[in-house]
């Protein structure tokens, strides 16, 4: 079998990726790393005690070894062996206590930072969400947040071990300065090569994390859309798309690995050569009577401590670099210039009447294509207002703007709720006062009851049953083995499209906002169920402002007001009867629908 990837690929690093990450990226997150100060202080005290033990344990181990060459004294040997044993037991006990404490601190710190990150993502503007990948957020919330909160413990652990090696170096220097100088040379060479390796890894890791995010999102979408993929027999095509993109990433990974392996091999060869030099120096000094045999044995048996010390320093460097990359990525989520927040005002409505007005509104998702062009209309309270028109005419955009999922730019008109510009209303006034139910509502991998209670956590089972009955789905749910406590899978994968829509409608009914927007919310329902749900929705107009968007004109003919949108403009508005008489497009659309329904009825 041939290699899929046979050649590595050199990435073109951007200026941003080449730039060194400032340590300030990490200090910005101090409140998360040192959130539990007293517990952290206890951990530091324990680690300081472990550091003292780490300094003396190798020294006493070396002295123990020396007793075998200086004329074996059984008492002295056993005494030193006992000290090493006791030190080791105490060290392990302290390590166990520190680990338990830190585990508690780390888990709780991770909860705090993830809660803030999830809250931050939920406040990012819809346009920024639309332009980002799912993995952009999930990787930062989980892996990067974990890296940041674990940094203090891992850093302190590396430091205490490194300090222990410094103590041992000091002991070797007291035995012979020449041996100590050779060990320092070994340390400097090993550290230099490993330092280059770590800098290379950091640069690549920063680059690879960025280009991996779209692929991770595509893999997630592959799982979520598996039904549609199988339905059009696109399994192989999507697999090839993912693999082709992953191959490019892996070719960069291969180059990183090649460079890393080369530098690591160079470090290993250097260590062998320098260890030979160290042994040669020891032999020379021993033959000339400058050191005793015990010193030679101590130096030779503990020669790897030099490499370990260099490795611990590199571990500190690598850990810090990786944490700085994660800290930078976490801080990016809090950066308003990269991920702007939703903008709200400070005017609060405890209750709203529900009158909505668009005044010379112009809107575009991007500057190249205007979706709504100088549009204006009024939506009266306690009435049903319906928007109809060709696909792509801007109907769903109107619903999104009413719900303030997107904001108007200054000078592009105004949208008011009860006479107040929606840009001046606070978040609760908008989100509590207005609900939107889309054509493809999202349901979470929770039970039906848990999905409903997202809208009203304190809702009783009786309240749930009431709204489910209004949405004409209670009978189906009662037929399930676990009823409302049945899990429905990710995005309600275990349900039909119509069932998902009805549960989403029930959720909106439970929230009971003053303004309710139904954006093709009954498109997946059969005619009988649709009429039942439509009756429920229309009854709500006694106390609510109801806005519906529909392609089937049969569902809106009883509306108090119908607005026909075409090309981002209001072509006509009025009742069904008015529009049939005055709007040719509306009349033609109605006739075409009537003909199609007659044809379908005959074919059945």
Whether residue 343 is contained in a domain is answered as no
Q: Which residues pair with 579 in a beta bridge?
A: none
**431 and 560 in one domain?**
yes
Residue of 529, 581, 530, 576 whose CA lies nearest to 553: 576
Over 90: is that where the pLDDT of 362 sits?
A: yes
For residues 364 and 480, state if they share a domain: yes
In a domain, 346, yes or no: no
Query: Which ranges constitute the DSSP H helices of 302-363?
Result: 304-333
Q: CB burial class (10 A; 0-12, 13-18, 19+) of residue 282?
A: buried
Q: Domain holding 210: CATH number?
A: 1.20.1560.10
Per-residue confidence (pLDDT) for residue 209, from 0 to 100? 79
Domain stops at, among 265, 300, 333: 333
The yes-or-no verdict on residue 521 having pLDDT over 80 is no
Give yes or no: residues 38 and 174 share one domain.
Answer: yes
Number of independent structural domains in the chain: 2
306 & 361 share domain:
no
Q: pTM value?
A: 0.73
Within this chain, do residues 426 and 292 fall inside the same structural domain, yes or no? no
> Do 429 and 530 share a structural domain?
yes
Percent of the chain with pLDDT over 70: 89
Q: Do 328 and 452 reside in the same domain of the chain?
A: no
Q: What pLDDT is stored for residue 533 in this prediction?
A: 79
Mean pLDDT, residues 512-517 taken together? 91
Q: What is the pLDDT of residue 417?
A: 94
Residue-level pLDDT at 421: 93
Final residue belonging to a domain, choices 273, 299, 333: 333
The separation between CA 388 and the C-alpha centre of its own chain, rounded to angstroms, equals: 38
Same domain for 433 and 510, yes or no, is yes
Q: What is the CATH number of the domain that holds 406?
A: 3.40.50.300
For residue 262 the two structure tokens come to 């080369």
**Alpha-carbon Rg for the chain in angstroms:** 35
Q: What tokens appear for 215 in the block? A: 């692929």
Residue with the two structure tokens 């069904």: 576
Note whether 208 and 95 are same-domain residues.
yes
Indicate whether 348 belongs to any domain. Answer: no
Torsion of Cα atoms, 442 then 447 then 451 then 454, to 10°? -140
What six digits make up the tokens of 459? 């809702």
3-state SS, residue 162: helix
Cα–Cα distance between 47 and 59 in angstroms, integer? 19
Of 451, 430, 175, residue with least CA distance to 297: 175
For residues 245 and 214, is the Cβ–Cβ distance under 8 A? yes
CA-CA distance, 306 to 185, in Å (whole number)? 10
Tell me: the pLDDT tens digits for 68-121? 666 656 777 788 888 888 988 998 898 888 888 887 887 888 888 888 888 898
For residue 1, being part of any structural domain is answered with no
Residues 194 and 104 in one domain: yes
Q: How confident is the model at residue 63 (pLDDT cuts 50, 70, 90)?
A: confident
Tokens of 437: 């139910």
Q: What per-residue confidence (pLDDT) applies to 127?
A: 86
CA distance 326 to 543: 50
Please give the residue that has the higher pLDDT: either 574 or 295. Answer: 574
The 8-class DSSP code of residue 413 comes to -
The per-residue pLDDT for range 327-348, each reduced to its tens digit, is 888 888 889 888 898 889 999 9
Cβ partners under 8 Å of residue 461, min gap 6: 449, 484
DSSP 369: B
Instruction: Locate 435 and state its tokens.
Output: 């609900």
Note the pLDDT of residue 517: 92
Which has the minimum average pLDDT: 120-124, 155-159, 203-207?
Answer: 155-159
Task: Tell me what pLDDT residue 460 has.
Answer: 92
Q: What is the pLDDT of residue 315?
A: 78
Q: Give the per-residue pLDDT at 227.
A: 61
- CA atoms within a 13 Å half-sphere pointing along the CA-CB vector of 24: 1
pLDDT digits (tens, 9 = 90+) for 304-329: 777 777 777 787 888 888 888 888 88
Residue 196 lies in a domain: yes
Task: Using the predicted structure, report yes or no on whether residue 3 has a pLDDT greater than 70.
Answer: no
Tokens of 326: 């994660």
SS3 at position 279:
helix
Pair 165, 79 in one domain:
yes
CB 531 within 8 A of CB 556: no
Q: Does 125 reside within a domain? A: yes
Higher pLDDT among residues 508 and 24, named by residue? 508
Round to whole Å and give the CA distance between 404 and 415: 9
328 and 361 co-located in one domain: no
Within its chain, how far is the Cα of 133 from the centroid?
10
Instruction: Identify the bridge partners of residue 569 per DSSP, sorted by sequence position.
Output: 566
* 412: three-class secondary structure by DSSP: coil
Above pLDDT 90, what percent of the chain?
18
**Rounded Cα–Cα distance for residues 568 and 427 (Å):** 27
- Is residue 167 one of the residues assigned to a domain? yes
Q: If we measure between CA atoms, which residue out of 452, 502, 455 comes closest to residue 476?
A: 502
Q: Backbone dihedral region of 291: left (phi > 0), alpha (psi from -120 to 50 degrees) or beta?
A: beta
Average pLDDT over residues 449-471: 91
Which of the listed residues 300, 333, 366 is the one where a domain comes to its end?
333
Residue 464, Cβ density class (10 Å: 0-12 exposed, 13-18 middle, ≥19 buried): buried
Reported as a pLDDT band with limits 50, 70 and 90, residue 401 is very high
What is the tens place of the pLDDT at every residue in 436-454? 888 888 888 889 999 899 8
Q: Which domain holds residue 392?
A: 356-598
pLDDT attached to residue 425: 93
Q: What is the pLDDT of residue 603?
A: 44
Q: Is residue 341 part of a domain?
A: no
């Amino acid at each position: 079998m041939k290699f899929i990837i046979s050649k590595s690929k050199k990435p073109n690093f951007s200026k941003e990726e080449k730039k060194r990450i400032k340590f300030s990226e990490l200090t910005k997150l101090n409140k998360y790393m040192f959130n539990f100060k007293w517990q952290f202080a206890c951990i530091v005290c324990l680690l300081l005690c472990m550091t003292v033990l780490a300094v003396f344990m190798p020294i006493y181990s070396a002295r123990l070894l020396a007793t075998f060459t200086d004329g074996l004294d059984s008492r002295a040997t056993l005494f030193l062996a006992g000290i090493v044993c006791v030190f080791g037991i105490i060290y392990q006990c302290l390590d166990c206590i520190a680990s338990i404490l830190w585990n508690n601190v780390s888990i709780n710190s991770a909860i705090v930072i993830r809660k803030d990150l999830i809250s931050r993502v939920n406040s990012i503007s819809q346009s920024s969400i639309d332009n980002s990948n799912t993995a952009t957020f999930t990787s930062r919330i989980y892996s990067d947040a974990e890296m940041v909160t674990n940094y203090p413990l891992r850093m302190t652990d590396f430091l205490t071990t490194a300090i222990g090696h410094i103590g041992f170096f000091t002991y070797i220097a007291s035995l012979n300065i020449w041996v100590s100088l050779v060990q320092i040379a070994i340390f400097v060479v090993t550290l230099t090569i490993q330092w280059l390796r770590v800098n290379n890894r950091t640069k690549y890791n920063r680059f690879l994390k960025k280009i991996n995010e779209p692929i991770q999102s595509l893999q997630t979408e592959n799982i979520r859309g598996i039904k549609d993929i199988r339905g059009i027999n696109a399994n192989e095509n999507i697999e090839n798309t993912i693999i082709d993109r992953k191959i490019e990433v892996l070719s960069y990974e291969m180059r990183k690995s090649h460079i890393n392996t080369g530098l690591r091999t160079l470090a290993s060869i250097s260590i062998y050569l320098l260890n030979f030099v160290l042994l040669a120096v020891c032999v020379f000094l021993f033959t000339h009577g400058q050191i005793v045999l015990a010193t030679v044995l101590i130096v030779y048996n503990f020669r790897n401590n030099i490499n370990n010390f260099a490795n611990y320093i590199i571990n500190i460097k690598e850990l810090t670099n990786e944490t700085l990359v994660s800290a930078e990525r976490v801080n990016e989520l809090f950066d308003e210039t990269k991920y702007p927040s939703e903008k709200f005002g400070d005017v609060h409505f405890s209750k709203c009447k529900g009158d909505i007005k668009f005044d010379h509104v112009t809107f575009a998702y991007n500057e190249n294509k205007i979706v709504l062009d100088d549009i204006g209309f009024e939506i009266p309270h306690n009435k049903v207002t319906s928007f109809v028109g060709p696909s792509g005419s801007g109907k769903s955009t109107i619903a999104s703007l009413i719900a303030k999922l997107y904001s108007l730019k200054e000078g592009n008109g105004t949208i008011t709720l009860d006479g107040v510009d929606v840009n001046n209303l606070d978040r609760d006034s908008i989100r509590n006062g207005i609900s939107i139910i889309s054509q493809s509502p999202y349901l979470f991998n929770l039970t039906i009851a848990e999905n409903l209670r997202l809208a009203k956590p304190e809702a009783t089972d009786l309240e749930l049953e009431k709204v489910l009955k209004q949405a004409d789905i209670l009978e189906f749910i009662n037929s399930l083995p676990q009823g409302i406590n049945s899990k429905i899978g990710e995005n309600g994968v275990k349900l039909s499209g119509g069932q998902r829509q009805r549960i989403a409608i029930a959720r909106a009914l439970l929230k009971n906002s003053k303004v309710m927007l139904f954006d093709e919310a009954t498109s997946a329902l059969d005619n009988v169920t649709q009429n039942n749900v439509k009756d429920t929705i229309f009854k709500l107009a006694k106390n609510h402002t109801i806005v519906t968007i529909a392609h089937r004109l049969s569902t809106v003919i009883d509306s108090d007001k119908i607005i026909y949108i075409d090309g981002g403009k209001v072509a006509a508005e009025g009742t069904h009867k008015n529009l049939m008489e005055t709007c040719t497009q509306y009349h033609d659309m109605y006739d075409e629908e009537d003909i199609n329904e007659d044809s379908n009825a005959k074919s059945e």
